[in-house]
Amino acid sequence: MNFQRHRRLRRTASMRSLVRETHLHVSDFIYPLFFVEGENVKKEVPSMPGVYHISLDLLEEEIKEVESLGIQSIIVFGVPGEKDECGSSAYDHNGIVQKAIRQIKEIAPSLTVIADTCLCQFTDHGHCGVIENGYVRNDETLELLAKTAVSQAEAGADIIAPSNMMDGFVAAIRQGLDEAGYTEIPIMSYAVKYASSFYGPFRDAAHSTPQFGDRKTYQMDPANRLEALREAESDIAEGADFLMVKPALSYLDILRELKDRYPLPLVAYNVSGEYSMIKAAALNGWVDEKSIVLEKLISMKRAGADLIITYFAKDAARWLKENQ
């Protein structure tokens, strides 16, 4: 009989390791952190077991743990004490994100600090921009995004990560950063961000649920593939240094298409809903958390992601070390 003996290369663990095509490294992970006003606050987000709101007086302990695990990059989100119509605390010199960034860079100067640049956590209506007659105004929002990015760069952010999907947001932020003298600060664009139902737990964590309507006029229709390519191309033309696909798991086909077409570093955002579903199943004993998380993360790398934003970063770092 003439047939292929594929099983020869799967016979032992060392043989499987020898021929493994895709690998996870702790340096692949970007860990999201949520900082809040107040003192002595470390409060678990109800819909995201293991994820916390942390006040700045407890920041050092968290950052030291992240560093001890070998994680090299974090992305910072802030939940302000006060919100208003135009999200002014997003670009306040003493806003929660700016204060957190300054403190982190003092404690851990070599840690790469990425600032999420958006307005929804800071507006009282929960939308990602300026509202007029119930509609999010695109161009009026760009000015506020650029101010926010510059204030984050002033605080010490290493990378600016705009997430609100306004047309022209990369161009506006690039111009704002350059005019303020931050020509060396790269932009990690949430270039392909779908209007996904997987964001629910994040909105619980960031207190950013829209108070009316939804985000479908500025985030993408999950049914669309060609639109993702147009979004990526326009962000590259505007000066993006990284491209991101969000969410990751239901959009692995989009990750692969972007990887095959564009030479920029590609980021997958393993979002809150993807995290919470596994956590809930693991807490009920329905799945083996370690094996299913590592399988999920390797699928994102195999699809083309160079970096993965994941709430599992600390757990995955520990598991990878155990497996060494």
Q: Are 310 and 30 in contact (CB under 8 A)?
A: yes
The answer to the question of whether 231 is labelled as a binding residue is: yes
The answer to the question of whether 203 is labelled as a binding residue is: yes
The answer to the question of whether 118 is labelled as a binding residue is: yes
The answer to the question of whether 276 is labelled as a binding residue is: no
CA distance 106 to 92: 20
DSSP states of 262-282 as a string? --S-EEEEE-HHHHHHHHHHH
The answer to the question of whether 86 is labelled as a binding residue is: no
Residue 64 sits at φ, ψ, to 5 deg, of -60, -40
Going from the C-alpha of 20 to that of each of 9, 111, 126, 246, 263, the distances in angstroms are 10, 30, 44, 27, 24
The one-letter code for the residue type at 200 is G
279 catalytic residue (yes or no): no
217: left (phi over 0), alpha (psi -120 to 50) or beta: alpha
The answer to the question of whether 272 is labelled as a binding residue is: yes
What residues does 35 pair with on adjacent strands?
A: 54, 78
Token output for 281: 């199943």
Q: Which of 193, 279, 296, 314 is catalytic?
A: 193
Q: Which of 83, 99, 147, 246 is catalytic?
A: 246
99 catalytic residue (yes or no): no
Sign of CA dihedral 172, 176, 181, 184: negative
The answer to the question of whether 106 is labelled as a binding residue is: no
The answer to the question of whether 120 is labelled as a binding residue is: yes
Binding site members for Mg(2+): 231
Residues belonging to the binding site are 118, 120, 128, 203, 215, 231, 272, 311
Binding-site positions for 5-aminolevulinate read 203, 215, 272, 311
The residues carrying an active-site annotation are 193, 246
